[in-house]
Structure 1
Amino acid sequence: MTEHLPPGPRGHRLRGNLPRYEADRLGFLRRCQEEYGDFCSFDGNTVVVSDPATVHEILGKTNAEYLAEGTLFAGGDDLDEAAERAAVWMAARRKGSRGFNRRVATAHAERMIGMLDEQLGRAGSQTVDVQPLMARVSGCMVADYCFSGEGSELVETIEAQVAAAIPIMSAARVLPRWMPAARNRRFAAARRRTMAAIGGIVDRRRARPAPESPRDLLDVLLAARDPELTQHQIEEVLRVTLLASYGVPGTTLAWIVRELSFRPDIQARVQDEATAWDGRETPPELAELPYTEALVKEILRAYTPTWLMGRTVREEVRVGSWTLAPGRQIMFCPYLIHRDPRWWDEPEKIDPGRWLGEKAPHARHAYFPFGAGPRTCLGTHLGMLQLTLVTSWLARRYAIAVETPGTVPASPAALLSPAGLRASFAVREHEDAGFVSAGGR
């Protein structure tokens, strides 16, 4: 078949659409959709898709007709080699998914509230930048989930890796890996340190007797049989889990902090529900916090941290009415789909209650904050557990004061974050009774 691309804005003769995109990323993509419809060519190699059914089909055919093996650098990868890497990764991923089980998650939940209290306790009564604080909280939590007590030594290493990746992920123009740019060198050095640190923990754990039952994700990976996972597979599952679970939950928590301060009605309902913590030695189940969980789902809809996703065409495909050749890039913007009035009622309104009815509050396939298909986020359940329990505990234990929450803009860089959000967290006086976290004992 002859390749047939959808129409799109022509842009500047040399720089294409980059100047207008960089000036207002979300606005530019929204205008393209309004003018050209749900299929639009961003440039000569990239097509933007905004139709939920088509996005769902693309995500579902990942690892076959499409690849999720994107690269941070220009020059691309050989598609067959990328497919082979994807097959190796999926084999390890299936083993790793067993680590996201109820027993390990429950043990982790009992520890993570203490981590939250410890980090907020360090901030004291000062007004601090919320985004990096909540990123540190989520980083401590995922390191604990992966490595139990050994994970604390990795938090700063992961922070450095993420900090080195953000300038590359946020840039509209991608540089080749070989180019000796400062950001490329920083990223390569940070990745080497991350892999060395993960490898060191794995080696030490291998040298000890296996526990009777898994305590964390690493125990699960080491216990895998038929076949056993290689050292490389184990390290890759851990690296991807650590990096993916660092930024997204932290960004979501930052938006939740903003919303709790901006909307007293929402905060009051979350606080009322947080009485589920009273008189307990362990955190409540998610079923006991339905409104809080609904708030998390709503924030993930309205302020989707992973606001832009993509796939690479592996073999010639039909996308809508268009034919795309191997190597083409397909992008889709969950933020815009999650706010499209064709698929949602009053999409610009923040309403947790929309999730409490018997029917889904959206058109089919129009909600995918964790992706979909075979490459859906490995830690979806873990993420919802962490976000819901932390949100409930924040509302119950802390008086949150945000500086001008109504003027906080959404900044679409590597993640969609609340730019410049600052707040203080003071422990409420009545918190001497009831559940006390490990960090507060």
Structure 2
Amino acid sequence: MVVSALDAGDGTNRKRRVHKKSRLGCRNCKLRSVKCDEGRPNCKRCSDYGVNCSYINAGADLEVLLKTTAGPEKEPATAQPLYQTMLGIMDPPSSSMPLVVEPNAGSVLSSQADMDRFTRFRSRTMYSIGNDTTGPMYRENLLRLSHQYTFLMHMILTITAIHDRYLSDPPQRLRTYAEIWHWTQASGLFNQALSNPLNDQDLDAIWAAAALLGVIVYSSTDATTAEESWPLKCSGDGELEWLRICDGKKTIWQLTNPSSRPGSGFFCITTEPQMRNEYLFPDPPLLGAEGLPPDLAQLCEVNAYSTSDNNPYHGVLHALAPLLDMEMTRASGPRFFSLLHFLSASFRTLLENKDPRALLVLALWYARICNSGMWWVDKRAKLEGQAICIYLERYHWTHKTVMRLLEGPKMRCGLPSTPASLSPGLIAERVVR
């Protein structure tokens, strides 16, 4: 966004004018140690650099500036709404790091540390993404495209840095400088790429980045205990950010549409039968509760006349039901994560508001994936699964059906079957009641 200019003072107090003058100058220019021309509303150096000008402390440092080149206006491309939907979905973890535009993807590997990190991706981390069917396709395309697209190379280095942190002994809780740096670059450059119409040859790189994006955002959690996890601890709007990113991935899929491009490196996802069965999940029925566990359907008021339009639980329950009898493995992983495509906006709102039925549904899903053995899956699933169970026991313990259906998730997420997860004060409060 463009920030308004600071006023130059009241014109009557010399000391105040001097103080104001000493604070003038774009903060982004100061970060880059260049002289600011103090142009309003944007200084020329920031405009040339491709970032938003920031004269006040409330603005984000070096936020990517989305602008059009001067000249005759062009008709927007038909896919422009999809681009606009994706813009800004990824917020860098640190706004104090400048966006650096490298001349090519290879220049990202300018240090020995990053070259070693890329080597670890090729020999270790990339084999933890996908399964035996889809994995080779993703590995081939990621390695090929990462040397052509800078944002994809930064994403690869980001996910490898996260993996390094998970494997450290003891596991490192806080994000490393390398992780934050590469994520800042990846997010800024990816949003920058999406701000412009794409050529056909760019679409595979965009989808590859979106695929990595889901893994990065889901696995990025600093919590080490249930008490530090959502919904027990809420530190801001970013608690369910990974769910918002899933919406962005759906938009990217529509935008890149590999199934309509035979030349796409991902064309076989939707055309090869085995990949299609593993990767795509059948759409839920348009109407009714057939196939749903009766007690869960009754709790969520899904009946013979329910649809996704009149009941926010309808679609996600139909996607969840067949998973309740399955175990998540690398082979079945895509099927489990395809459930996220059926989380409607109304259901996400229920989660944000900590609706007990929506939380129970998410806990049931977490319980099925928390013991998958996949490094980027299990931590969030177990901690947030435990946190949901504890939250529901603390604040909705009078809801008998919720408590009964919660027993399975508690056991699978590693909690005792008794309300031992309650704080001593809350247990005493129950006894008094």
TM-score (norm 1): 0.22
Higher strand proportion (structure 1 or 2):
1
User: Which protein shows a greater Rg?
Assistant: 2
Structure ranking higher on relative contact order (CA contacts 8 Å, 6+ apart): 1
TM-score (norm 2): 0.22
